[in-house]
Structure 1
Amino acid sequence: MFWDDVIAENTFRTINGLNNNLQNPEFGSATEKGTRYTQLLRLGPEAYQDELSEPRGGGLTTPLELPSAREVSNAIADQGEQSIANDFKLSDWFWQWGQFIDHDISLTEADTSGDSFPIPVPTGDPDFDPFGTGTQTIPLTRSIFDPATGTTNPREQINEITAFLDGSMVYGSDEATALSLRANDGTGKLATSIGPDGEILLPTDSDGNFLAGDIRVNEQLGLISVHTLFVREHNRLAQKTADVLDNGKGRKANKLNELFEESGLSRGDFIYESARRLVGAEIQTITYNEFLPFLLGKNVLDKYTGYDETVDPGIFTEFSTGVFRFGHTMLSPQLLQVEEDGSYEAVALRDAFFQPGKIMEDGVDSLLKGLESQQAQEVDNLLIDDVRNFLFGRPGAGGFDLASLNIQRGRENGVADINTFRNAIGLSPYTDFDELTGGDSELAAKFASVYDSIDDVDLWIGGLAEQDVNGGVVGETISAIIIEQFSNLRDGDRFYFENDQYLKELKGILDKNIDKVSLANIIEDNSDVQIVGSAFTVNNPIVV
């Protein structure tokens, strides 16, 4: 039984996100396929070739009028073997946190029965067409979308999970998933498994894959490790809640027991919901107090003034399909596993995809330290070969090009070109490639080699070419979208940690105020890893 099954739904956060906004109950909620479809929102105009569903630039039922996404990738996104570390000494935790919270707020899968929209490979492409056949393509299937759109009105993709920063990647976005991830033994804890060395890991299915609130958990080793970290954190907080209920003294303990009695919940459900609420608040405070100031610059978001029921916290297509994929450019060719004595193993990123067995063998603590020990690559227009040519496998053997996929996905989702988008949100369109790149003539020439016009440039790759603004690591267009998205996620969430008065009653469980919690605290509380300063920066980077 869930908290919101017992208590009025206007008091506590539901698993599926419904009733967060009491005036607009579906704001930010997860799609329930066949019943209710939560569309992604748009900041800019739809840009379908036929104004309904044909991808921007054509290529599905009409001739392609834009350069192939792979052609753009080859010309602009090829980092080759060079390493370009970021100037802010941001660690791998920075991009890893970005992926983790992205999986909290958006999921739009490929439609298993949808149209194929493959990416043409240029003849003689050294990786994807080495024999010069001129017939090779990189497969892509169109995104799942609201079936009520795309015929007489523009196609709109859907969000399958809750939009809120609520820890849904840990707990799930539907009650069946949430219940399946619980220990269901009266402790309020989440289910776990035990590794060979006694390390607490995520639960597994019959095939040895890890289970979590989000289906993408097994994508790569770093992601598995951060999922594991927050399951441990939930269980740590659940145990502390139980200890306060049983043995606590003073006003805080009395108040917690009073809340338990008033809830009408079983002891296990009360502990589960209390720990879940705290974990969600921790994810929010880390995101807004640590992550976003590095990403956007300090004090770029407007000061929080409280919950606003008129704000829709839904996810923008331009955010999920486009600019929040900036972290792909920060990946290094390897993940590090760093032991307590400082020794390390470098795992090639191309060998880290869908490898839960390696976690079962080695655990996650060394990866938690490894993410803090390596300086991430620069946020720019370049991607390493491990994801530009070897994503999920070798070319011709299941491998993909992540840059091409990002560009193609934006087109098939009807995302406007960068100039049309900038004009729509009140920014001045660029007059030429030199202005786009901030005077980088070499990069401007690369754009000119594939795009006929500055008005053709795809939002994702164009945004990555901009000069950084506001002391952050992204340019003007990307920054504008991220500011709008995270402002809405904050202001449109009735349970945002700064607005949640109930959190004050749970202070007896935490060692500090919720707004003082850091990612380093979470790591140190749930592993043998020690972090000096912020986990998002590296003091003495290991260079491989």
Structure 2
Amino acid sequence: MFAGVSLPGVAAADASHDGPDRRLLGVWEVQSLDGADNNPRHPTWGMANTNYPRMAAANYADGLGEPVNAPNPRYISNRVINDTGLSLYSEGNVSQWGFVWGQFLDHTFAERLGRREVSDPAEPAPIVVDDSDPMEFYRTNLGFIPFDRSAIAPGSGIDGPREQINTHSSYVDGATIYGQTEERLDWLRVGSVDGDPRNNNARLLMSADDYLPRRDARGNPDSAPLMVVGSNVPARVAVAGDARANENPPLLATHTLFAREHNRIVARLPRWLSEEDKFQIARAVVIAEQQYITFEEFLPALGVTLQPYRGYRPTVNSSLSNEFATVAYRAHSQIRGDFRLEAEAGRYSPEDLDRLESLGVLIEADGDTVGMTIPLSEDAFFNPDMLELLQLGPLLEGIGRNTQHNNDELIDNLLRSVVFDIPVPENPTCADEPDLPACIRGVNDLAAIDIARGRDHGMPTYNQLRVAMGLPAKTSFAAITGEESEEFPADPLLTAGDEINDPDSLDFVAIYNGDGEPTTPETGDATSAQRRAPLAARLKAIYGSVDSVDAFVGMLSEPHVPGTEFGELQLTVWRDSFTGLRDGDRFFYANDPLLRHVRRAFGIDYRTSLGDLIARNTSVPRSAMPDNVFLTKQREDPTHPWCRWLPPAWCEWLDRHATAAKVEARFVKDGYTRSTHHRVASRNGHAPGWLAGVDARVVPRRSPQGWRRDGAHC
């Protein structure tokens, strides 16, 4: 994927970084914790603490490191990304597991090096907030969104562009569960803490109730590995392989699930194995399970199809690109502002329910069942107590019960405009009392930060990235969004000549469900909507030129490729990146012979669904969950039944021709004939409901675009 890309400032791999060469059962190679030596020819490829390579040339104002002068990120966010309270849901019925797993995966293979981690002086680049902006709906007096630039990679930004460092291994390697250093793993495993995890028990340390251990589990919380903490129970946050595990209850629940799975596998292994061998076998299986779920459930649910696997390719560099990590994998638009679960009322004591209500959880009792709505609020962030109160099984099952938000240009205002208060000496608790001075009020905006981070990292513009990915540049704003016009309409509710600053421009004038039928916000099935002012017109008023559009904003503004959750550019970057993660990983599950040996010798198979994993490690029965927990509505398997016996190339041919024939037959059945004048797909790429899930790439010469119904355009 990035073969031959130079990585300035990266030291050569140290063969002794993980201690002496280890062999599992005296035969099998043990995968390093930090990704080093995964590729023997290029031992630093994919290794932790190496530079992000680039897909395109860096885009800095001075060519070295100065961010480009472009429209203010909060200004853009208020006019493009503000959802004004309307929830649009996934067209493909992707459950909330889409973004929960996405975050769990993100914390496995990517974390930029920030200033705090290297103890360097901060390099602030605050994002100005104009309180007088007519489109600023959240009034504050701080005047800016706090933002610091990422740490600069050593040796960069002098004679060449400024680069950034990925502190994680780029591989899908279970780093969220096991960490990437011997010191962290030593603390996580049952046994002594002496810097050498190999003399510890095979099991991971858990609480008496089988949750992740807290910082004080071994006594002094300050001796525990570094964990990101918030204002909730900072001394008692849970400890995991990744420092960000406590960020929200669903993420922490996923960490907990895999720690339980590790210990479940250890318990199944024979006693004659050494503790170290049992640990490494369980680790190898858990890593393979994470990979298997990613490539067999997560990506297909989002419509990301890859070419068939042909085996390990040592010429492929699996290092995550800066563009993927900084722009294309930013999935904040998919996040809903709450989670919901249903469980037996007898699970919870009155005291537990009172405590949950005090944390902002909405509780509705209905006979023997209790329903809960958990907002992603301050009380939920970095609060492991909430997970234990909710209980692991019901929360994991609930994540798959509800549909995630659509992957579009909108971000829930619970994430886009988080208001916070900074205490003043005369009012340290920010009490709302008439005789006390008001605290300083600020707003945090993930969308504005995403835009600013792209410029901080020298991301290419939208068109520059399209060209780098082999796609043609767009020549108009309407071509970006797929809309018919990029001009503001002559609407009496809009201020002529200043429509971009008119709040009425964001009014939703039409809302549609997944079948393209009109709906209302109350029904909870909206997947697309039309605003008073076209998105293309707003982008044009903000940027002026299509060649100035930020890559992050442009790719989220594209209509979706039918059958996927992505526009063309984002889908292309995902396919390229995940193909590299798969093909350049020597320990990928389809290439690792150890896994076949474990299956034959011990009857332990990594090929498991996420639903099966939840059922094995919680009290939730498998029958309570759908076959594929990544989907709230199950899809028919499009794979031809003969594919289980045929070579991949034959299977591809069968699928392609069978799908094309099926689509054409359905068009004919419904009375459609070919036409070169009509598009069935809407701006958001919606095909008719019965066509959902069909990838346009496998319908050659029979695209759903260009058909019409006899007698009238549909």
Q: Same fold (TM over 0.5)?
A: yes
The equivalent of 2:553 in structure 1 is 461
CA RMSD of superposed structures (Å): 2.5
Partner Cα separation in structure 1 for residue 152 and residue 341 of structure 2: 39
Counterpart of 1:220? 248
Query: Which residue in the other structure is 2:370 paired with?
Result: 343
Q: CA deviation at 1:513?
A: 4.3
Residue number among 167, 170, 177 corresponding to 2:177 in the alignment:
170
| Partner amino acid, structure 2, of 1:21 | N
1:274 aligns with 2:292: no
**Alpha carbons of structure 1 residues 149 and 106: separation in structure 2 relative to 1, 3 Å:** same
Give the 3 Å change call, closer, same or farther, for CA 54–214 of structure 1 in structure 2.
same
TM-score normalised by L of structure 2 = 0.66
Conserved 8 A contact 1:350-1:390? no
1:143 to 2:150 alignment: yes
Q: CA deviation at 1:296?
A: 3.2
* Matches of 2:605 and 2:254, distance apart in 1: 22
Look up the match of 1:429: 473
Q: Compared with structure 1, are the counterparts of its residues 286 and 152 closer, same or farther at alpha carbon in structure 2 (3 Å cutoff)? A: same
- Gaps spanning 5+ residues in structure 1: where? 32-37, 58-65, 247-256, 261-266
Matches for 1:21-170 after TM superposition, within 5 Å: 21-31=39-49, 38-57=50-69, 66-112=70-116, 113-125=121-133, 136-170=143-177
Are positions 1:233 and 2:261 aligned together? yes
Q: Please show how residues 375-454 of structure 1 align to structure 2 within 5 Å.
A: 375-390=403-418, 399-439=443-483, 441=485, 442-454=534-546
Q: 1:5 is matched with which residue?
A: 20
Where 1:296 maps in the other structure, the secondary structure is: coil
In the other structure, the counterpart of 1:250 is none
What is the TM-score when the length of structure 1 is the normalising length?
A: 0.86
What amino acid maps onto 1:121 in structure 2? V
More relative contact order, 1 or 2 (CA 8 Å, 6+ apart): 1
Quote the residue 1:478 is aligned against. 570
CA distance in 1, matches of 2:170, 2:136: 36
Using the TM superposition, name which of 494-503 and 77-86 deviates more: 77-86
Which shifted more, 222-231 or 6-15?
6-15
| Shift in Å, 1:176 | 0.9
Q: Which runs of 5+ in 2 are unaligned?
A: 1-15, 193-199, 216-220, 222-234, 345-367, 423-438, 486-533, 635-714
What is the rounded CA distance, in whole Å, between the counterparts of 2:373 and 2:257 in structure 1?
21
Q: Is the 8 A contact 1:122 1:129 kept in 2?
A: no
* Structure 1 residues 21 and 471: CA distance shift in structure 2, 3 A: same
Task: Tell me, in whole angstroms, the C-alpha distance in 1 between the residues paired with 2:31 and 2:105.
Answer: 18
Equivalences for residues 288-299 of structure 1 within 5 A = 288-297=295-304
SS class of match (2:99)? helix
Deviation of 1:124 (Å): 2.2
Write the letter of the residue equivalent to 1:325. R
C-alpha distance 349-533 of structure 1, shift in aligned 2 (>3 A): same
Q: How far, CA to CA, are the matches of 1:474 and 1:209 in structure 2?
A: 35
Matched AA of 2:205: A
Residue 212 of structure 2 corresponds to: 202
Give, in angstroms, the shift of residue 382 of structure 1: 0.4
AA aligned to 2:61 is Q
Report if aligned partners of 2:203, 2:262 keep a CA contact under 8 Å in 1: yes
Q: Relative to structure 2, which stretch is displaced further, 21-30 or 275-284?
A: 21-30
Deviation at 1:387, TM superposition (A): 0.2
Structure number, greater radius of gyration: 2
1:41 Cα deviation (Å)? Answer: 1.1
Contact 1:170 1:213 in 2 (8 A): yes
Amino acid of the residue matched to residue 323 of structure 1? A
Cα distance, 1:187 vs structure 2: 3.8
Following superposition, the deviation at residue 288 of structure 1 comes to 0.5
Larger deviation: 490-499 or 531-540? 531-540
Residue 5 of structure 1 aligns with an amino acid whose one-letter code is P
Output one character per residue of 1:399-424: Cα deviation in whole Å (capped at 9) or x when no partner: 41010010000011000110011122
Among 518, 534, 539, the alignment partner of 2:628 is: 534
Deviation at 1:86, TM superposition (A): 1.4
Matched residue SS, 1:337: strand
- Quote the Cα distance in structure 2 between the aligned partners of 1:240 and 1:399: 50
Q: 1:434 to 1:211 in 2, by over 3 A?
A: same
1:224-248 deviation per Cα after TM superposition (whole angstroms, max 9, x unaligned): 111111111111111112xxx23xx
SS at match of 1:436: helix
Offset of residue 510 of structure 1: 7.2
Q: How high is the sequence identity, in percent, across the aligned residues?
A: 32
| Secondary structure at 1:41 match in 2 | coil
Partner of 2:330: 325
Within 1, Cα distance between the matches of 2:369 and 2:472? 50
Cα pair distance change 1:446/1:22, threshold 3 Å? same
